């Protein structure tokens, strides 16, 4: 009987481990140096495990960046992965919020992700959304132009996503 309980405990442990998926890292303080390299070594950064803010008035485009780790468990990831919600549908939702919005996919496998670029005040903004097993990484930049905002986010995705998302 005792061996049955041990065996049951072993299988429950395996099942629990199989369900713990998501991002490889949940600590943005571990990517501060990579974020600085992506934007500019002059950038000012404040980071906690779940939030990272960068500003650089003297950098090209004067980007202001917010990076956040969180959870999104409303079914969005499942609907996008299954094709029930297409990227075209996501873009149409974005355009309803801002007629200038454009959306493109991000190559962040095994996660899924997309990037939006939009007009914002006297400049522009860009936001990357990356999802994996309910974990959510958002990278948002505001800058003096669409190009600078988008390039800031793309550079950060390229540097940070592999470290956060994992294999």
Instruction: Find out whether 24 and 149 touch, Cβ atoms under 8 Å.
Output: no
Q: Which among 103, 130, 131, 138 is positioned nearest to 118, based on CA atoms? A: 103
Q: What confidence tens digit (pLDDT) does each residue in 61-95 have?
A: 999 999 999 999 999 999 999 999 999 999 999 99
- Give the HSE-up count for residue 103: Cα atoms under 13 Å, Cβ half-sphere: 18
Would you call 144 helix, strand, or coil by DSSP? coil
Report the CATH number at residue 68: 3.40.1000
* Parent domain of 94: 21-165
User: Within a domain: residue 97?
Assistant: yes
For residues 145 and 129, give the distance between their C-alpha atoms in angstroms, rounded to a whole number.
20
Neighbours of 13 (CB within 10 A): 10
pLDDT at residue 17, as a whole number: 45
CA-based nearest residue to 53, from 68, 41, 38: 68
Of 166, 157, 162, 156, residue with least CA distance to 36: 156
Residue 2 covered by a domain: no
Q: What was the pLDDT predicted at 103?
A: 98
* Cβ proximity of 165 and 128 under 8 Å: no
pLDDT in tens, 136-155: 999 999 999 999 999 999 99
Q: Does some domain include residue 15?
A: no
Q: What is the reported pLDDT for 120?
A: 87
pTM of full prediction above 0.95: no
pLDDT at residue 20 in the model: 55
Domain count across the chain: 1
Report the interhelical angle of 146-165 vs 32-39 (nearest 10°). 150
| pLDDT of 6 over the 70 cut | no
Please give the Cα distance from 127 to 38 (Å, whole number). 16
Among 39, 48, 45, 92, smallest CA distance to 70 is for 48
pLDDT tier for residue 13 given thresholds of 50, 70 and 90: very low
Residue 4 located in a structural domain: no
Q: Does any domain span residue 62? A: yes
Model confidence at 122, pLDDT cuts 50, 70, 90, reads very high
Query: Does residue 73 lie in a domain region?
Result: yes
Average pLDDT over residues 154-160: 98
Give residue for tokens 């996008």: 80
Structural domain contains residue 16: no
- Give the mean pLDDT of 35-49: 96
Classify residue 6: in a domain, yes or no.
no
8, 78, 87 from 4: Cα distances, Å? 6, 36, 49
User: What pLDDT was estimated at residue 12?
Assistant: 43
């Amino acid at each position: 009987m005792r061996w049955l309980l041990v065996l049951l405990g072993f299988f429950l442990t395996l099942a629990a481990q199989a369900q713990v998926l998501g991002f490889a890292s949940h600590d943005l303080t571990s990517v501060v140096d990579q974020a600085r390299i992506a934007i500019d070594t002059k950038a000012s950064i404040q980071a906690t495990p779940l939030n990272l803010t960068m500003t650089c008035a003297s950098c090209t485009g004067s980007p202001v960046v917010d990076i956040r780790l969180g959870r999104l468990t409303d079914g969005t990831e499942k609907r996008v992965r299954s094709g029930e919600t297409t990227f075209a549908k996501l873009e149409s939702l974005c355009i309803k919020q801002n007629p200038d919005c454009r959306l493109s996919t991000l190559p962040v496998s095994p996660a899924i992700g997309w990037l939006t670029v939009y007009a914002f005040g006297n400049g522009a903004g860009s936001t990357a959304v990356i999802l994996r097993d309910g974990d959510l990484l958002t990278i948002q930049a505001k800058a003096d132009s669409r190009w600078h905002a988008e390039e800031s986010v793309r550079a950060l995705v390229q540097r940070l996503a592999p470290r956060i998302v994992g294999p």
